[in-house]
């Protein structure tokens, strides 16, 4: 790369500390308003930047990459997931893609446990009563939930986040089970006291809680489809802090409404902000606005990783968090 400072375009507002550091290092174009760029705005940004810093709200597909021109050399994604970027096409066009893996593992695992507790112990229902001012006092049978300790937790996708969930759930006395593309090493299984299920169907049918912690890929789209959701026990709950596309949201909604599944805790949705309106009316569902990784510490660390990837690239080296199609 030439010695002059790289031109960097950031598509969303980032923590102030991150934006300040970027301004010191690069010729950076920041956002004044925090809204996703339109497709046309994104195409123009890709034409004038050496480096684009997108987020999950930017869908960079083959058609958009074709409009990028020859200047763009690096897409330094702010976030670990890259299913919104056509990485293979980018590489074919000579554009590198980097991400920020491992930063929000603990934050997302915290939120997973929070959702499990919220659904099992009916916390939002109690909160609604208190906020409405209708609480008449303690009663022996009021708002009875279920005990978490002793329940079987089935983790779908036992990578960094799945294992962090397992460690937390183990401390709460839950029995740890998991299904993964590859079985964990024996020493990891021993540490987590985890039981591996080669058959996802068999695991799903025996669990009290299912936690979705796998990425969205073509092979995981609707992995929890209507048929598999029907295998769940009527007393079971499902929690998703990963990607909404892994669950068939319409099928889940029908089964929650009919009582075939006891409850759900969702932080992500199949169609982004276009959430099935019938989900909002259900008392046995906890809905969060994709805030599983939303901690100050996590966001700043993500920004620091983005900066390191760009700076390393600017110095003529391979970004440390380079994404290649084989990794997906």
Domain of 278, CATH number, reads: 3.40.50.720
Q: Judge if 178 and 307 occupy the same domain.
A: no
Decide if 158 is inside a domain: yes
The span from the CA of 64 to the CA of 39, in Å, is 8
Domain that holds residue 299: 7-103+295-327
pLDDT at 5: 87
Closest CA to 226 of 204, 211, 203: 204
Decide if 1 is inside a domain: no
Count of domains for the chain: 2
Residues 87-96: contacts with CB under 8 Å, at least 24 apart: 87/323, 87/324, 87/325, 87/328, 88/325, 89/61, 89/62, 89/65, 90/60, 90/65, 91/324, 91/325, 93/65, 93/68, 95/65, 95/68, 96/313, 96/319, 96/322
Decide if 308 is inside a domain: yes
Beta bridge partners of 106: none
Cβ–Cβ < 8 Å for 82, 99: yes
3 state SS of 143: coil
Decide if 76 is inside a domain: yes
pLDDT at 326: 54
Q: Judge if 165 and 274 occupy the same domain.
A: yes
Q: Judge if 282 and 199 occupy the same domain.
A: yes
Q: Judge if 305 and 277 occupy the same domain.
A: no
pLDDT tens for the 328 residues of the chain, in order = 445 789 999 999 999 999 999 999 999 999 999 999 999 999 999 999 999 999 999 999 999 999 998 999 999 999 998 989 999 999 999 999 999 999 999 999 999 999 999 999 999 999 999 999 999 999 999 999 999 999 999 999 999 999 999 999 999 999 999 999 999 999 999 999 999 999 999 999 999 999 999 998 899 999 999 999 999 999 999 999 999 999 999 999 999 999 999 999 999 999 999 999 999 989 999 999 999 999 999 999 999 999 999 999 999 999 999 998 754 4
Decide if 2 is inside a domain: no
Q: What is the pTM of this model?
A: 0.90
Q: Judge if 81 and 188 occupy the same domain.
A: no
Q: Judge if 239 and 308 occupy the same domain.
A: no
Decide if 207 is inside a domain: yes
Q: Judge if 122 and 258 occupy the same domain.
A: yes
Decide if 322 is inside a domain: yes
The span from the CA of 77 to the CA of 84, in Å, is 10
Q: How far is CA 298 from the centre of its chain?
A: 13
Decide if 114 is inside a domain: yes
Please give the radius of gyration of the chain, using alpha carbons only, rounded to the nearest integer: 22
pLDDT at 4: 74
pLDDT at 324: 85
Q: Judge if 86 and 125 occupy the same domain.
A: no
Q: Judge if 60 and 162 occupy the same domain.
A: no
Q: Judge if 211 and 266 occupy the same domain.
A: yes
Q: Which residues of 189-198 are buried (b: 16+ CB within 10 A; e: fewer)?
A: beebebeebe
Q: Judge if 94 and 158 occupy the same domain.
A: no
> E strands, the chain, where?
7-10, 27-29, 51-53, 74-76, 96-98, 152-156, 175-179, 194-196, 209-212, 237-240, 263-266, 285-287, 322-323
pLDDT at 1: 43
Q: Judge if 156 and 275 occupy the same domain.
A: yes
């Amino acid at each position: 790369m030439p010695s002059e400072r790289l031109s960097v375009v950031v598509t969303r507002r980032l923590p102030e500390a991150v934006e300040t550091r970027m301004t010191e290092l690069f010729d950076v174009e920041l956002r004044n308003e925090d809204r996703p760029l339109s497709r046309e705005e994104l195409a123009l940004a890709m034409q004038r930047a050496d480096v684009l810093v997108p987020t999950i709200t930017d869908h960079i597909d083959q058609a958009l990459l074709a409009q990028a021109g020859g200047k763009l050399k690096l897409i330094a994604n702010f976030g670990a997931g890259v299913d919104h970027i056509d990485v293979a096409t980018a590489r074919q066009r000579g554009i590198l893609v980097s991400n920020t893996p491992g930063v929000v593992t603990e934050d997302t695992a915290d939120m997973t446990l929070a959702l499990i507790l919220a659904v099992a112990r009916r916390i939002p229902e109690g909160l609604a009563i208190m906020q409405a001012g209708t609480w008449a006092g303690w009663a022996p049978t009021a708002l009875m939930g279920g005990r978490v300790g002793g329940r079987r937790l089935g983790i779908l996708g036992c990578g960094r986040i799945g294992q962090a969930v397992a460690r937390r759930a183990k401390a709460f006395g839950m029995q740890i089970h998991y299904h993964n593309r590859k079985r964990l090493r024996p020493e990891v299984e021993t540490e987590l006291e985890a039981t591996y299920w080669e058959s996802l169907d068999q695991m799903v049918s025996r669990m009290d809680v299912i936690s979705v912690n796998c990425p969205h890929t073509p092979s995981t789209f609707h992995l929890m489809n209507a048929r598999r959701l029907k295998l769940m026990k009527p007393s079971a709950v499902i929690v998703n802090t990963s990607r909404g596309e892994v669950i068939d949201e319409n099928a889940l909604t029908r089964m929650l409404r009919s009582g075939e599944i006891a409850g759900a805790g969702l932080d992500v949705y199949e169609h982004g902000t276009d959430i099935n309106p019938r989900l909002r009316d259900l008392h046995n569902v906890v809905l969060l606005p994709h805030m599983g990784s939303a901690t100050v510490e996590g966001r700043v660390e993500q920004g620091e990783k983005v900066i390191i990837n760009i700076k390393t690239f600017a110095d003529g080296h391979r970004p440390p968090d380079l994404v290649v199609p084989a990794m997906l």
